[in-house]
Structure 1
Amino acid sequence: MTAPLGAEEYRDLLISALPDAQDADTVEPSLSNLFTPDSHRLALHVDTTVVRGGRGVGKTFWYRTLLDDQLREVAADEYRIERLRHLKVHRGYGATILPKLYPGPNPLRALVDAGVTPYDVWNAVLLAALGQQEIQALSWQQRIEWIRAHPEERDATIAEIDRQAQAEETTHLVLFDALEHLHLDRGQADRLVAGILQLALEMRLGTKNIRCKIFIRPDMFDGALLHFPDASKLTANAASLKWSTTNLYGLLFHYLGNHDSEGSKRFRSLQDGWTEHRQERHLLPPALLGDQGTQADMFSRLAGPYMGANFRKGITYTWLPNHLMDGVEQVSPRSFLNALGMAVNETRGDYAAHPYAIHHEGIRRGVQSASRTRVGEIREDMPWVHTAIAPLNGQQVPIDQNLVLERWVDADLTGQLHRESARASALDGEVEVRTGPRYPDNHLLLIDELITLGVMRRRKDGRIDLPDVYRIAFSIGRKGGVPKVQS
């Protein structure tokens, strides 16, 4: 019988098996790290056009997986989606600089400044992807001009490629990712996204075997709806990348069981039912994948059962995701893995003699680290959220709603939001630029919008709360809670 791992051996496995960088753009999918939670199956369906997800939930990971023939086969097996085996996949947009496949941010800005409509841009990208011969040697501006001058040839090309795909029983799938990098100005980015959605809807309604799949943040999808109302027709089959507690721990155990090391082999020996699906790829036992009790027992081997001396301090298995959860009860795997990585490093640095690989104080510091990262991300994505929460600095939650409104009035929040929007408008040279909330003048509706985003939540007694993943780094206290980050 294989001997169980000791605390230091578990630490070595955690540090080596977990990804070094919690930035999705730096983690390349592979046979060993591809994890297929059941909740993501709809997102991989070929006819699912819009895949919504915040930062760190796996949009870029799935984008790259679909581009890889071998990984697409694995997804087809494990999700039982036969159509994934019969795809011709094309890049419509992504973070990688590929000027022959699509215009990057700088060429896009030049095209937009020259008066090219977003729909025309993506029309040219689509035809280039589908192999329209007459435009292949042209610049993007020339491609667009050719398509404008030859609308019948454009339609004929699409119809013929669709017919050929039907005859071959295959589907052309055009993927779009990294849409936050389309344009520095949010208003222009929203319009560019609207052009992608317009083209995607046209292909969905007008062809049988040409499809687009758009990986997008929810706030960007909402912003695009302002410029393309028909985009709402795409919401009926939209998918969201969500992670349950069992998904998160399944991901952790998948990493630990798929690392090329002796420690990983010994970890797999602790639980019956692991299967080698393909070389370098081991599938979790069903109980370790989806049973909370089994997962909790396994995690207690790593971090102990409690967040202190006894259960009154909290159960480690539930405590970690509960304190990383936003107001709509979602946890990103990036935050989860970020917190665990920090927890192991803190334990090794300050609690090396601890009998478990992870000390409960390390978990608390890991949550603080994840909170700093999450607040930094939302400050980049939606700066107005930071502006709205800043007047609550130093307060303690839960907080009476009237006190929130008073603090906002005292800080002239409405004026701040309008001034920020005006600065953005001046930079863009237009009046219609929405960089802030929908209702900057109505503070009650502003609270509702923050609740929808998951930054706030309203308790049954009407008081306003902030989930720890935001509260801690925003320097807002909670009696008995994880300490706020000291600035």
Structure 2
Amino acid sequence: MNTPLSVQEYRELLAAALPEATDADTAEPNVQSLFTPDSHRAALYVDSTVVRGGRGVGKTFWYRSLLDETLREIAAQEYGIERLLRVKVSRGYGAALEPDLYPGPGNLRQLMEEGIPPYDLWYAVLLTAFGQPELQALPEWRDKAAWVRNNPGAAERTVQIADREAQASGVTRLVLFDALEHLHRVRAQADRLVGGILELALAMRLGTRAIRFKVFIRPDMYDGALLHFPDASKLSSNAAALTWSRANLYGLLFHTMGNVENELAQRFRRITGGWHGELDSRRHVPPPLLSGDEQFQTEQFTRLAGPYMGSNFRKGHTYTWLPNHLMDGVEQVSPRSFMSALQKALSETRSQYAGHEFALHHEGIRRGVQKASETRVIEVSEDMPWVRLAIERLAGYQVPIEQERVEAIWRESGLVEALRKEAERYVPGASEGDAPVRTGPRNPEDPVQLIEELIELGVMRRRADSRIDLPDVYRIAFGVGRKGGVPRVTT
């Protein structure tokens, strides 16, 4: 019997499904959490060397999933990528400290100071993965890189042997790279290291049949990498992007709810219907209607949050309102922001609106968007501090705003000088050597180019009438106003 869940039961199920911490580094993927949106299929192709994606879109999730044989098999079958069943995967770089597999951030800083060419260094990492015996006898990465430079013939023969052995056994040697923002705390050096990875990736793609790299990278880091080598454009031609449609986001929510290990999740699966297990009885796959049909998803989310963001449709429909207000300037929403907003919405509802007729109150959803905005601003400020320097000067103003007004505000507030000082703080050998990775804009002294770069990053967008706008996911926490918009969090 498909007895509907009560409001309280929905809240209990959501509490079990929505994680307290939404940082990918705090949780390993597993068979229950593996969700396979259609838009990610190209990123899993073995020949997709570059996989671009911002924070919270799944780079580390897929990196770790591809390292796990069971998860890799599930992804291969659900995406219909047969070749993914025949790969031997190695770590090229990641957030975990694995000094026997690749140099860590501290070692990389020293190696760069010593002038070790990034290409030689990553070549040494590749040969180490292949078990090159002479490299195995060298404990230090500087010595491994020197061996590569001094023994080009032996290095090439090692690659040739590995390639032929892989072909003979019908497998592809796949080397994965992630967490590239942690390569070096000085952005210029990080760009050089990324350039070395990508140059070697292209060399393997063009020179071998069964050795491939997969590089998970933020778009701004890919755009800033030093790709000064022949045929570098070929990397862009087969690049993939980790994007999330609105249906994907709600599909993830329902997948997560259906894979909680309790009786409420079982009832939820019976109510929505059509679920099935794949490869592992602990994993439940939602039906296509629940994972990809917006009309059916709207019906299900209405059971959780009601139809409107207030008393009637004029306040907005809950299903569309939430992702619309989390969307950046290039119309992307990260699942991390989406799930974080829902978790906060649930918390607010339980503490402030416990008697509400739905599991989520619309004011809780608004507070969830506010919280997600705060988190997103913290993230972008860590990744690109210059963005904060530029946007925080617009606090107190309202958008949309004339571009000439933005340029005037920046000139009057001394933004160019502030950007120059910020850049000077993070040069090689600076005392802030323990600071996070820093980056600056391409043209810090040109306000017009600054606006264009912020638009590319999705922090700003240009309206049809040429005025500049900020998406809510940035606007709210930066204290920029909009008539009738979601207000900033007040404490």
> Contact 1:190 / 1:227 at 8 angstroms: preserved in 2?
no
Residues 192 and 228 from structure 1, CA distance in 2 versus in 1: closer, same or farther, beyond 3 angstroms? farther
Q: Deviations over 1:128-164 (max 9, x none)?
A: 0011112113121221222222111110110011011
| Residue equivalent to 1:394 | 396
| Residue equivalent to 1:113 | 113
| Residue equivalent to 1:243 | 244
Aligned AA for 2:371?
A: S
| Residue equivalent to 1:471 | 475
Secondary structure of the structure 2 residue equivalent to 1:473: helix
| Residue equivalent to 1:83 | 83
Task: Kindly indicate whether residue 441 of structure 2 is the aligned counterpart of residue 441 of structure 1.
Answer: no
> Contact 1:194 / 1:228 at 8 angstroms: preserved in 2?
no
1:369 corresponds to which of 360, 364, 371: 371
> Contact 2:276 / 2:286 at 8 angstroms: preserved in 1?
yes
- Alpha-carbon offset, residue 427 of structure 1: 4.2
Task: Kindly indicate whether residue 483 of structure 2 is the aligned counterpart of residue 483 of structure 1.
Answer: no
* Counterpart Cα distance in 1 of 2:443 and 2:231: 23
- Alpha-carbon offset, residue 421 of structure 1: 1.7
1:181-192 matched pairs, under 5 angstroms: 181-192=182-193
- Alpha-carbon offset, residue 285 of structure 1: 1.2
Q: Deviations over 1:72-131 (max 9, x none)?
A: 110110000000111110000001111111111111111111111111110110000011
2:299 corresponds to which of 289, 297, 300: 297
1:314-325 matched pairs, under 5 angstroms: 314-325=316-327
Secondary structure of the structure 2 residue equivalent to 1:102: coil
- Alpha-carbon offset, residue 275 of structure 1: 1.2
Aligned AA for 2:112?
A: V
* Counterpart Cα distance in 2 of 1:416 and 1:310: 46
* Counterpart Cα distance in 2 of 1:142 and 1:46: 31
Secondary structure of the structure 1 residue equivalent to 2:484: coil
* Structure 2: unaligned runs, 5 residues or longer: 432-436
> Contact 2:366 / 2:486 at 8 angstroms: preserved in 1?
yes
* Counterpart Cα distance in 1 of 2:169 and 2:283: 31
| Residue equivalent to 1:195 | 196
> Contact 1:49 / 1:212 at 8 angstroms: preserved in 2?
yes
> Contact 1:120 / 1:144 at 8 angstroms: preserved in 2?
yes
Aligned AA for 2:484?
A: G
Secondary structure of the structure 1 residue equivalent to 2:478: coil
> Contact 2:119 / 2:197 at 8 angstroms: preserved in 1?
yes
- Return structure 1 stretches of 4+ with deviation > 6 angstroms: none
| Residue equivalent to 1:311 | 313
> Contact 2:18 / 2:339 at 8 angstroms: preserved in 1?
yes
Residues 417 and 227 from structure 1, CA distance in 2 versus in 1: closer, same or farther, beyond 3 angstroms? farther
Aligned AA for 2:475?
A: R
Task: Kindly indicate whether residue 455 of structure 2 is the aligned counterpart of residue 454 of structure 1.
Answer: no
- Alpha-carbon offset, residue 485 of structure 1: 3.1
* Counterpart Cα distance in 2 of 1:310 and 1:280: 41
> Contact 1:50 / 1:234 at 8 angstroms: preserved in 2?
yes
Aligned AA for 1:475?
A: G
1:401-416 matched pairs, under 5 angstroms: 401-416=403-418
Aligned AA for 1:301?
A: R
Residues 19 and 344 from structure 1, CA distance in 2 versus in 1: closer, same or farther, beyond 3 angstroms? same
Secondary structure of the structure 2 residue equivalent to 1:396: coil
Aligned AA for 2:376?
A: R
> Contact 2:367 / 2:489 at 8 angstroms: preserved in 1?
no
Q: Deviations over 1:417-442 (max 9, x none)?
A: 1222223236469xxx9931111222
Secondary structure of the structure 2 residue equivalent to 1:276: strand
Identify which range, 406-415 or 123-132, moves more after superposition.
Answer: 406-415
Q: Deviations over 1:368-404 (max 9, x none)?
A: 0000000000000011111111211101111122211
* Counterpart Cα distance in 1 of 2:121 and 2:472: 42
1:105-184 matched pairs, under 5 angstroms: 105-139=105-139, 140-184=141-185
Residues 434 and 302 from structure 1, CA distance in 2 versus in 1: closer, same or farther, beyond 3 angstroms? closer
| Residue equivalent to 2:434 | none
* Structure 1: unaligned runs, 5 residues or longer: none
Q: Deviations over 1:261-305 (max 9, x none)?
A: 001001111122111223111111111111111000000011111
Q: Deviations over 1:168-198 (max 9, x none)?
A: 1101000000011111111111111111001
Aligned-pair identity (%) = 63
Task: Kindly indicate whether residue 105 of structure 2 is the aligned counterpart of residue 101 of structure 1.
Answer: no
* Counterpart Cα distance in 2 of 1:345 and 1:398: 32
> Contact 2:326 / 2:338 at 8 angstroms: preserved in 1?
yes
Secondary structure of the structure 2 residue equivalent to 1:477: coil
> Contact 1:475 / 1:486 at 8 angstroms: preserved in 2?
no
> Contact 1:191 / 1:227 at 8 angstroms: preserved in 2?
no
* Counterpart Cα distance in 2 of 1:174 and 1:42: 17
Q: What is the count of residue pairs matched by the alignment?
A: 484
* Counterpart Cα distance in 2 of 1:17 and 1:293: 23
Normalised TM-score (structure 2): 0.96
Secondary structure of the structure 2 residue equivalent to 1:483: coil
> Contact 2:186 / 2:438 at 8 angstroms: preserved in 1?
no
* Counterpart Cα distance in 1 of 2:287 and 2:68: 26
| Residue equivalent to 1:10 | 10
> Contact 2:373 / 2:474 at 8 angstroms: preserved in 1?
yes
Secondary structure of the structure 1 residue equivalent to 2:216: strand
* Counterpart Cα distance in 1 of 2:10 and 2:474: 30
